[in-house]
Chain A
């Protein structure tokens, strides 16, 4: 599947996030202070809080509901919490953002199923 254009880098605030609505559920796209960009399913592995609403620091986002820290690079919950949310590839070319949204293989009627411990 080709990369999908989803917007411009400048449309996401530094240390912020925007949501991309997809058939696989909302995907949160994050931008950190060094303009690295990451994409995670917008669901905390703990209690499905919207990660896009959290505070972003370097390589983590803190879920607004119960303060779990999630690694932006792979969706892993930071220790001692355990769990993982799905992460997606996202690239920036000439300030334009492209999302790598793989074809769905599983039943997607419940995209909310992040892997909880």
Chain B
């Protein structure tokens, strides 16, 4: 027999917990839900668009009555639970009906705070919390002219805007001198007030309400300074309080909210709580993101899986108030021990402030241009040292390194047909439809359903803005980013454990680190394989955990054929090599030959079963694999250097060949490209490579962390050295620190932006023994990496990979 789960409350957090529960344990419980409102579950964040008339109630329903029916949930609307018999394990509703439970979930949300001034109970005085309040305001707007909103926070401003849109004269009354003081500082608050005034709202700031005056219905408000304001409607939006009434009554421990532990369990082990009604580690939460995280954890424990913990959330607010872009996160006011960097352009209506302590971001406020909000939030959460790009921090991510992929920063002004994600061809209208129709809330959801922002990621800021404009102030706030859905551990934690505990196989990693899936997934398996190969060279390599290109040693193409790129050291070749390549192309009828960006020749359209034969012929002509398919060293691009060029200062070609012979075959977190230019004219484009060498008359300049690609990033200058041997040593050391520290699929450019150039310099430039040790580890690892995979396979290794199992006539 199924156990009984009863939920008190029918709001977003609670229903989300039920949804999560149904995902992981669909048949565990008979579920009964009590809701005091007459509606099923709707999106409370979107009450304001209903008030303004942009949306109707049906547009904001998240789960309609049919959803409950389809999932076998007994939904009881218009019912309040008035008591809980904890000993007998029953809830008692307002009709006196007893409903038994095995587990109880309290999700009673919060109540609006009503200032207890005289007259607060007059007709025409309401809060702004649910559909009933919206209906009340809509009726009032038809009949009356003047409204006052008490409270200049997010909700108050949205209510004021809605009433204004409905034709009322609206005055916002605020106790303090800054609007939205919990999200904005004085300067940005003033900008906001100015633009709202331009839209026709009036403000009465630093005003304390003393009484609401009227006979039966409200007629005016009197303030502490004696002034008065006539009005027909008063909306109180001065904050919310966790609704703990029921829990308190039945003796469940409450402080400000119902106190829960990391598994969302109250002091009564059969009773759980989620949402705005609870208090966790001293904090209460009102934004959706943390509530949904709680819902997930709670579902995990209700399902008795027992492996999730809620550890609190860092929140950011990114909101749309009547078409005004705002973002704030963390501590944005600062104190004596912090510094602030401010950018202000009053005419353009742009204001940005970042609070720093020891070069780490503590908080940020953005007004008018919020596209970099997510980036600042990431830097803040990761505790990134921003010292290396402090001077350009406020100009945004696009200005770090160099400008890249063109990016607009105003989602609101885009038409529905404007392309947002260029990689996957997703237009703004597609994203909005998916968010509305599928009830999406997070960036991850939008990525999964629309593919927008799921490839190169350069449109992420824009997608987040669109999301915010549709569902309101939601931003996802995981405390740390786990490797993938198979584990809660981060890349760094997994890497550390592999080395510290000497874990040497993928099954052992999964067992010791309690992976949630049997074999991992296509995201974590290649990552784990790389981490093990890097930590224990020569000891471990799991073929089935490599991505196909690294299993087949060629690049898969869209039709399932492969491309083959033989290595040409330093890009230098000769007639015999070219003749051999031409012969191979003829013999195997290779349809396309192309010169690559890395100065090599690509043979495209090779059938998989032909690969070993093609390699055999190339191998006999002296070629080894070009590793163009690998997360590893690709090519070393060179210019002709002083051997031929009248400007050349060093033999860049020979230097490139030496580097390539040293580094070929190495695996790294992502592809790794090198170039050597013979003079500062830089014909080999060394300053957009992972490791770039530029010859000068007195030696060699070394540059790191560049790439072409999605976002062009020019290298950072690392140092200058004198001899060829030094170039090799610094290159080996740099590749090794990148191999050991970067996350899988993280190129040197984002890695350096994450850890900082100073960090790299510390180990490569300032610490000679450290550099030598890194270089030695690289060369030791290379002893296991430089067997040519093509030759081996041409000789029959791994034959099964390339041949069909059988053919059926």
Contacts and interface: CB of A to CB of B under 8 A. Distances in A.
Given A6-B808, A56-B519, A14 B448 contact: no
Interface stretch (B366-374, B647-655, B684-692, B799-807): B799-807
B805 A19 contact: yes
A54 B520 contact: no
Given A15-B544, A58-B517, A101 B556 contact: no
A7 B806 contact: yes
B809 interface: yes
Contacts of A67: 522
Contacts of B518: 33, 57-58
A7 B151 CA distance: 75
Contacts of A21: 804, 806-808
Interface string A25-42: 010010011000000000
A57 B525 contact: yes
B548 A57 contact: no
Interface string B512-541: 000001111110011000000000000000
Contact of B517 (A47, A50, A57): A57
A115 interface: no
A54 B560 CA distance: 11
A74 interface: no
Nearest to A101: B808
B530 to A, nearest CB: 13
Interface in A1-16: 4, 6-7, 11-16
Interface residues of A, number: 37
Interface residues of B, number: 28
A29 B525 CA distance: 21
A107 B476 CA distance: 49
A105 to B, nearest CB: 17
Contacts of B18: none
Given A6-B805, A7-B806, A23-B809, A18 B548 contact: no
Contacts of A57: 517-522, 525
A87 B556 CA distance: 24
B646 interface: no
Interface in A42-74: 47, 49-50, 53-58, 60, 62, 64-65, 67, 69
Contacts of A14: 544
B449 A65 contact: no
B807 A20 contact: yes
Output the residue of A21, A32, A69, A101 with the most chain B CB within 10 A.
Answer: A21
B800 A55 contact: no
Contacts of B556: 50, 53, 64-65
A52 to B, nearest CB: 9
Nearest to B560: A50
Interface in B425-482: 438, 448-449
Interface in B751-807: 800, 804-807
Contacts of B375: none
B67 interface: no
Contact of B805 (A11, A49, A55): A11
B552 interface: yes
Contacts of A20: 804-808
A99 B558 CA distance: 28
A55 B449 contact: no
B547 interface: yes
Q: Which of A7, A29, A58, A80 has the most CB of B within 10 A?
A: A80
B545 interface: yes
A42 B223 CA distance: 75
B24 to A, nearest CB: 14
Contacts of A7: 805-806
Nearest to A28: B805
A53 B552 contact: yes
Given A18-B805, A101-B808, 17 more contacts: A12-B800, A13-B800, A15-B544, A20-B807, A22-B808, A33-B519, A50-B556, A50-B560, A53-B551, A53-B552, A55-B521, A55-B547, A55-B548, A57-B518, A57-B519, A64-B556, A80-B448
Interface of A: 4, 6-7, 11-16, 18-23, 26, 29, 32-33, 47, 49-50, 53-58, 60, 62, 64-65, 67, 69, 80, 99, 101
14 contacts: A4-B808, A7-B806, A11-B800, A15-B544, A20-B807, A22-B808, A23-B809, A26-B804, A55-B522, A55-B547, A55-B548, A56-B544, A57-B522, A58-B517
The 9 closest A-B pairs by CB, nearest first: A62-B522, A18-B805, A15-B544, A55-B522, A57-B519, A21-B807, A50-B560, A53-B548, A64-B548
